[in-house]
Structure 1
Amino acid sequence: MTSAAAAAPLWRHRPFVLLCGEQTASSLGRQITTLALALLAVTGLGAGPFGAAALLGLTYLPGAVLSPLAGVLVDRVRLRALLVTVTAAQALVVGSVPLAYAAGHLARPHLYAVAGVSGALTFTLSVALQAALPRVVAPDRLLGANSALTAARTSGQIGGPALGGVLVGLVGPAPALLAGSAAYAVEALFVLALPATLNVRIPAGVRAPLDALRSGLAVVRSHPQLRRMILSGAGLNLGSGAAAALYVFYATEELSLPAWQLGTTYAAYSAATIAGALLAGRFARTAGLWRATQVCGVAAGATVFLIPAASVGTGFALLLAYQVAYGLTGTVWMVSMTTTQQLVTPEDLQGRVAGLVQSVLLATVPVGALVGGALAACLGSVPVLLGAASIALLSAATLWSPTRTGDQVTRNPLGTVPEGVSPCARADHDAD
């Protein structure tokens, strides 16, 4: 990266602007796809609470299992070529659903297969992009860059659910997936325009994949702050994953919300995420990344209780309140954690560390989704949602547990590398 590029505002830095465009297109496609697949399973193919939960579980399970291997792959291959391949494949996979529907051959196994493959591609892309960002911006700009990318991603999320709800209402859930496939195709064009300097291979001295994974694990084990974020986040995802798996079924079948109201609640989450992205940098610099993570983690866990509360109150209003509160607090938590992870990781290990972290965070989502769906089929949605909210809150609260001797966490505001951690090794690539 040139000195001129490092000094220029982020919005004038071409590779970063392309990443923002990619995030907007990706989120638009993902939101349309997620909503349309869920509604197609529930209203078109007769899936019950466990079937809806299984669909979400299959979306996350490949990420939980394959993310560490994706991290090794990201550190070894040409990064831009990988990004183009993954995004193009995503467009084809999602586009297969409306084609099968038009041919009269769409069945539930096809839908589950699309959810699983699409999930694997999505989380491979996520690992690759986390590794790409430190190659595009300097370490002292990562907090602002992560906040800006979150805002860009959320701009697509605002329109995605509402557009998905309107399309489902007009043409049905299966044809609506054509719009999701088109958004992924646009995403592929953005990553194709990224500079060739992203295609930097890992040094030749790196050994077998298992040894490569161990080197990434060593980074996670050596940083107490990162370890605690990961473990509490895994528990938070266990509870919120169960709630998310039941969300569409609960809102449509038990609260009788129409598709446009369901889509609006997702859009409210996206709007709150933009607010969180705008606040994340200021809050983290003022309070420190660790304090921002503690406060927002507990707040995010507490908001999950608004979902079961919707059964005894004004359902639409309470679900809107949940999405706004969770979007705001969860975004600050995510930006703080991602920035910490990137700062403490050497550049040639970014993919492996991102893959390991993502794997741990995702592993509990399908577990929560499948267990929550199975229990809801027997006990009903509301008791399971209350239990899920309790798990999410208690897990987040562990961030406030006493620190063990020799396990101190850093509280310095970002813009600098936390104490006790060597600055990331950075190659002087021309990102323009």
Structure 2
Amino acid sequence: MRAALRRPDLRLALIGRTVSMFGDQALWLAMGIWVRQLTGSNGAAGLVFFFYGVPSLLAPLSGLLVDRVRRRPLLVCTEGLLGVAVLSLLFVRGAGQVWLIYAVTFVYGCAGTITASARSALFRTLLPDDDELASINGLMQTAQEGLRLVAPIVGAGIYSWAGGPAVAILDAATFAVVVTTFSLLKVTEPAPHPRTSHWRAEVGAGVQHLWRVVTLRQMTMAVGVALLVVGFGETLVFAVTTDGLHRAASFVGVLLTAQGVGAIGGGLTAARAMRRFGEARTVACGLALFAIGVAGLLVANLWPVLVGIAVAGAGVPWLIVALFTALQRLTPNELQGRTFSAVDVLVTTPQTISIGVGAGLVSVVDYRVLVAIMVVVIAACAGWLITRSASSAQPPPAVSRPIAGDDSAHAVV
């Protein structure tokens, strides 16, 4: 990884990505607080996250766009336009302009479906070496988990001190940094493939590739099924805090901090785990760690709960980094965007469903029953995946890739 980090192009990309993550996470909590203060409604505040999540349904179309243009210019344009959109929050003066916050949130979500798959594809071009790819993915996941502990506090603090417009200006400034870093990036990208079939078939090509590659199919199935219950945890953490530990609801912040510390550890060790176990077994181990950690929530005692939630947090980066590294490694360049979008939809949709189901069940079912269901289902997914011999045996498809920085391959963009 040290050799990769000595390359100016990769350092620029990492700086841009880190600044982008900080701005995003600083804005989200502040926007929810902003709407809550303007309207006095918790439901209205919750709609901020709803409007952000709805555009994920458009991810397959975004993936097609990513595969039809060069990724670096697409990122520059999308991030630049989003920075301008965020500045429209400066016109929010009262409850009558809450619709503007929702509109910006929706645009943010739409842009996110584009930038996520475009970044994934661009980083694969920057990192043709599989080992470097895994290490950098682990590094970025670690940075993301660390920023989750810091950025929301910074955003909420700035909001309390100077108001919502100040947070919007901060976020817009981070977009300016991102646009600058990616504009300065010198990377050779292959020419986009022209359309060869009907647009519906083109959109579905990512799912078809995902199904054909046994490794990706098995990992996506295991993670998708597990996420059908993982979303219960979004609500259960409050039940564990108040009913199990007999603490105030605000103590949830302590538990989430423990989870974040564990996730940082998981991010730091994810690449090493992949080198030792392979991608599929690392996903399985990540699921197993999550199941073991969640089991600690069954004990109505502080220390088992803290340790358990930290262990569960450590498992998340293992499965995320391994799954998406395998996706990048086993997918040809012309399908990177659509395959990323397909996996994204197939794993986030079950989680969204389980969040809603969990919120409904926790009021009528003892939280320990739901925790036990989570443990059983997630452990079963881990056990199923770890026994799939094909998951670690299938070689990547033969795909020619340009070397980042090699001006002899295609045009420099």
Fold match (TM-score > 0.5): yes
Mapped to 2, the partners of 1:19 and 1:350 lie a distance apart of 18
SS in 1 for 2:188: helix
Residue in 1 that maps onto 2:41: 47
- Residue in structure 1 matching 2:49, options 49, 56, 62: 56
CA contact (8 A) 1:72 1:212 kept: yes
Partner of residue 401, structure 1: 384
Corresponding residue for residue 410 of structure 2: none
Q: Is the 8 A contact 2:284 2:386 kept in 1?
A: no
Match for residue 20 of structure 2 among 21, 26, 29: 26
Q: Give the equivalent residue in structure 1 for 2:60.
A: 68
Q: How does 1:22-421 map to 2 (within 5 A)?
A: 22-42=16-36, 44-48=38-42, 54-63=47-56, 65-97=57-89, 99-101=90-92, 103-105=93-95, 108-140=98-130, 141-172=132-163, 175-195=166-186, 197-198=188-189, 200-204=190-194, 206-244=196-234, 255-257=248-250, 262=253, 269-304=259-294, 324-373=310-359, 379=363, 387=370, 390-391=373-374, 394-395=377-378, 397-401=380-384, 408-411=389-392, 418-421=393-396
Query: Which sections of structure 1, spanning at least 5 residues, go unmatched?
Result: 1-6, 412-417
Cα separation, partners in 2 of 1:403 and 1:421, compared to 1, 3 Å: same
Work out the CA distance in 2 between the residues paired with 1:90 and 1:279.
33
Aligned-residue RMSD, C-alpha: 3.7
Describe the superposition over 1:235-292 as per-residue Cα deviations: whole angstroms up to 9, x where unpaired.
Answer: 333434454378799989x93428xx84x76665554433222211111212222222
Amino acid in the other structure paired with 1:78: R
Paired residues, what number?
A: 402
CA separation of 1:209 and 1:145: change in aligned 2, threshold 3 A:
farther
What amino acid is aligned across from residue 344 of structure 1 in structure 2? L
Q: Distance in 1 between matches of 2:172 and 2:240?
A: 27
TM-score when normalising by structure 2:
0.82
CA contact (8 A) 1:32 1:177 kept: no
Rounded Cα–Cα distance in structure 1 between residues aligned with 2:229 and 2:202 = 32
Q: Percent identity?
A: 22
Structure 1 residue 169: Cα displacement: 4.1
What corresponds to 1:3 in structure 2? none
- Equivalents in 1 of 2:7, 2:306: separation in Å? 36
Say if 1:8 and 1:271 are closer, same or farther in 2 by CA, change over 3 A: closer
Q: Higher relative contact order by CA 8 Å / sep ≥ 6: 1 or 2?
A: 1
1:197 to partner: Cα distance: 2.4
Alpha-carbon distance between aligned partners in 2 of 1:44 and 1:323, rounded to the nearest angstrom: 34
Aligned partner of 1:415 in structure 2 is none
Paired residue secondary structure (2:138): helix
Query: Structure 1-normalised TM-score?
Result: 0.78
Q: Which runs of 5+ in 2 are unaligned?
A: 408-413
1:135 Cα offset (Å): 0.8
- Report the residue type matching 1:324 in the other structure: A
Label 1:386 to 1:305 Cα distance change in 2 as closer, same or farther (>3 A). Answer: farther
Q: 1:178 to 1:295 in 2, by over 3 A?
A: same
Match for residue 430 of structure 1 among 382, 386, 405: 405
Comparing 351-360 and 394-403, the one that deviates more: 394-403
**Structure 2 counterpart SS, 1:19:** helix
